[in-house]
Structure 1
């Protein structure tokens, strides 16, 4: 199967090329048609100008981050026909009315199973009102309750995380749910595949959900048939197609494993070789994940079922995937798993980060593979540094996307100027998406510090405090700083040409 998959990767790449060409042809056709009509009709020319004006006003009044508005307004104003066509394809992150309605229906059904125990909130409020407010926000705005009867373990090495994940999967009795942005039918997936096949033969229900764009260079369409022949259900999120599709810009970037509703995993790693340092396309890969067990697993199940049923409705008996197990947590921490959706106009991922920045007292550390910030996030980062908070961000030393890395570096001067410390992970590519504030509260998940994660993708993360795992995250950060390059001590050698190119890239970075 591995050899077959290697030979078929050309077909997967060819598929995305064909899809891209198909979309490009449609855009060109519309643009040419409008330009020709403009040549023959003054009325149509005036109509185009009117549409341009209305669209610019509509963009300006959009309930979204200001950084999204400026590049669209410039593009529509400078090149009206092209700008209008491209905007209607990529500019509306809320997807189509039909897609939004489908998700609303699914969410109303599923999130009704989640409830917040007010006694937990009261207990946390007595300990620390600031931390309690962070969790209150998630319940009020992201339907994500905070749990107490839950244990969490942190893995700063993805190989350790996968070993534990495989061990838990081998104990599965009822179901295993896997949702990943990218899956590669290669060495890293083989041990997992064998476990899934064995459990399927035992009658365990197996479901795999993956994003088509994330797997376009890894999997071919035969993957689904192959898995289903082994008794494993598969669904692909938002297939790449050669037709104009507003929703195509929204991807499933979540990483979730749920086992029997008892144990769950999440973090930054996908199921591909480089995430486990089997291959090294960008030097040493650094990633992380968590395992959690107890009441909070219910949220992980709901988040998975949200995406699974939004593609093709199926589940009626939801309760069978939400079993109640007698569990006694070993630690008395507080834990909330939350999802972030581009369809609800609530940037939960960004707001959680900014809430932590606002009440940081001593230090706050971030890791992110990409650094493309809104004005609001930049203001919170620099504002915390100006208050005397030790604000640090670790970015890659070896980038996977050179153009995006130039955008990332364009934010360095402003942040460094105001006291934010930036470190580049010199051994290779930093893919962790996590944050620790004052050694008290931690975020670990899939959410990058960039516009795609914060505004366009379906994401998830965990917010927790009061666990030994918090100190393990701190230890991971402390082990990273000595092997990173402190950019505040590096001389700035940006030429005018480089500054100009970075300025242009940064202007249009929200559209990347």
Structure 2
């Protein structure tokens, strides 16, 4: 099916133009107010200085990462007329608009632990500690009776995805950061429409910012006409607000509570090689079949309750599960939120880094890491662990790419090996260590994923998919360019200075 061509005046572009114009108008209004009150400029300036000092002192008392505090304090003190106001508008409390207490009550009620600590003894104390953290801090229990299949590319994943959707009998849940009209989504939508007409309950959640350039504003209503229930998570309003940062970056598919998918893939053509953007697009997915899929269903329904509270989860629990082929490994689906009390993604990555003994391989499209993760990676490398990181060579966001590269020198000096994916853009988000642990999901190695967004993934221990993730990493290295310390140092002075500035303000990207 051919991809629709949007004109310059397409509804999508008109919508984005309106949003951008509205935000610019808000900045312009602020400037006009300053100009109109120029006769009071001295008083106004010193009031702003006082506010900026007060805001800076307040920021210093917060429990945020030090790099995040510094990234805000510097512009606030340098430009008090704007910095303090911008922090109040955009950088204030990170409390997201979602029902955390209700979500945790639902997870405690519906996600009852299946395994005891003795089930992890075979894998060692480190595995037991990681699983304990996920179960007690994140309320994400571990499962055994779950079959896993890893797909190293979008092209491998998509035919299986369509086949599984076509076999749905009870319900289909889709929660994705980006859904884009095109060839891929058209194929998916045909199946969803057919299933909805046959009585299968179909629910879709997409993010209001991630999908703002790719879907019309009335898309939930359009899907409703096809019998599909749809929510747009926090629609992108032309209003400057910190809550615009709290995005639903998850990638979850649940079919009948029996089969589920997670990974880095969104539902757009470039993710399955039907459209070229930034060279070849490398992505991945993980299919679960069995007990662990119930956790994915609960994650989806708690997000659905963000706008429609009091949903009864019980009818969606499968009455029976099919036989699965499993070797007895541990599977733990996990979810993260932007609430300051929830740092599951950051904590899990830190644990996997510090517990690695022989090797640690990480892939991420954005390497925008804080001082804690940086120190852990450097310490691991200095301790003899083979630490390797794979990033893109062709960026999708040039400024963020410069921030990524600005983090290379300190890691390379410590012995970390860094590779760039030369065929194009690598969007995978994986961690694998010691042929024992792995994580596959939506979480990038950056501040947004760790502290500002809703994320999800699957932690694996002693599962065959661990080896599949490892092999995919090693195979991908064959088409990568290894970055040396000389590469990161032999740059023009201006570029090195620019990268230093980017790195200083990297928590704000």
TM-score tier by shorter-chain length is over 0.9
3-state SS of 1:6 partner: coil
Once the two structures are superposed, residues 2-27 of structure 1 have per-residue CA deviations (whole angstroms, 9 ceiling, x without a partner) of 77673487332332332233233324
Report what 1:25 is aligned to: 25
Once the two structures are superposed, residues 380-423 of structure 1 have per-residue CA deviations (whole angstroms, 9 ceiling, x without a partner) of 01100000000000000111111111111111111111100000
For residues 107 and 134 of structure 2, the distance between their equivalents in structure 1, rounded to whole angstroms, comes to 17
Structure 1 residues not aligned, in runs of 5+: none
Report what 1:80 is aligned to: 80
Q: 1:3 to 1:330 in 2, by over 3 A?
A: closer
3-state SS of 2:199 partner: coil
Residue 511 (1) aligns with residue 474 (2): no
Report what 1:175 is aligned to: 171
For residues 109 and 482 of structure 1, the distance between their equivalents in structure 2, rounded to whole angstroms, comes to 45
Report what 1:104 is aligned to: 101
Q: TM-score, normalised by structure 1?
A: 0.94
Residue 403 (1) aligns with residue 399 (2): yes
Report what 2:419 is aligned to: 423
Q: TM-score, normalised by structure 2?
A: 0.94
Report what 1:216 is aligned to: 212
For residues 480 and 254 of structure 1, the distance between their equivalents in structure 2, rounded to whole angstroms, comes to 24
For residues 77 and 109 of structure 1, the distance between their equivalents in structure 2, rounded to whole angstroms, comes to 44
Which range moved further: 361-370 or 8-17? 8-17
Report what 1:480 is aligned to: 476
For residues 28 and 229 of structure 1, the distance between their equivalents in structure 2, rounded to whole angstroms, comes to 40
Report the CA distance between 1:508 and its aligned residue. 1.4
Contact 1:8 1:220 (C-alpha < 8 Å) held by counterparts:
no
Report the CA distance between 1:267 and its aligned residue. 0.2
Report the CA distance between 1:41 and its aligned residue. 7.9
For residues 341 and 312 of structure 2, the distance between their equivalents in structure 1, rounded to whole angstroms, comes to 29
Report what 1:317 is aligned to: 312
3-state SS of 1:81 partner: coil
Report what 1:16 is aligned to: 16
3-state SS of 1:80 partner: coil
Which range moved further: 321-330 or 339-348? 321-330
For residues 342 and 38 of structure 2, the distance between their equivalents in structure 1, rounded to whole angstroms, comes to 40
3-state SS of 2:82 partner: helix
Report the CA distance between 1:283 and its aligned residue. 1.0
**Matching of residues 231-246 of structure 1 within 5 Å:** 231-246=227-242
Report the CA distance between 1:240 and its aligned residue. 1.2
Residue 272 (1) aligns with residue 273 (2): no
Once the two structures are superposed, residues 436-486 of structure 1 have per-residue CA deviations (whole angstroms, 9 ceiling, x without a partner) of 001111000011111111111111111011221111111111111121101
Q: 1:202 to 1:486 in 2, by over 3 A?
A: same
Report the CA distance between 1:221 and its aligned residue. 2.3
Which range moved further: 82-91 or 267-276? 82-91
Once the two structures are superposed, residues 65-100 of structure 1 have per-residue CA deviations (whole angstroms, 9 ceiling, x without a partner) of 11110011011111113112211222136246xx24
Report the CA distance between 1:293 and its aligned residue. 1.4
Report what 2:222 is aligned to: 226
Once the two structures are superposed, residues 324-376 of structure 1 have per-residue CA deviations (whole angstroms, 9 ceiling, x without a partner) of 42455432010111111111433211111110111111100011111111011
Once the two structures are superposed, residues 44-71 of structure 1 have per-residue CA deviations (whole angstroms, 9 ceiling, x without a partner) of 5554333222211111111111111001
For residues 8 and 255 of structure 2, the distance between their equivalents in structure 1, rounded to whole angstroms, comes to 31
3-state SS of 1:142 partner: coil
Q: 1:116 to 1:79 in 2, by over 3 A?
A: same
Once the two structures are superposed, residues 231-284 of structure 1 have per-residue CA deviations (whole angstroms, 9 ceiling, x without a partner) of 111111111112233211111110000001111100001111111111112111
Q: 1:498 aligns with which of 486, 495, 500?
A: 495
Report the CA distance between 1:43 and its aligned residue. 6.3
3-state SS of 1:239 partner: coil
Which range moved further: 18-27 or 375-384? 18-27
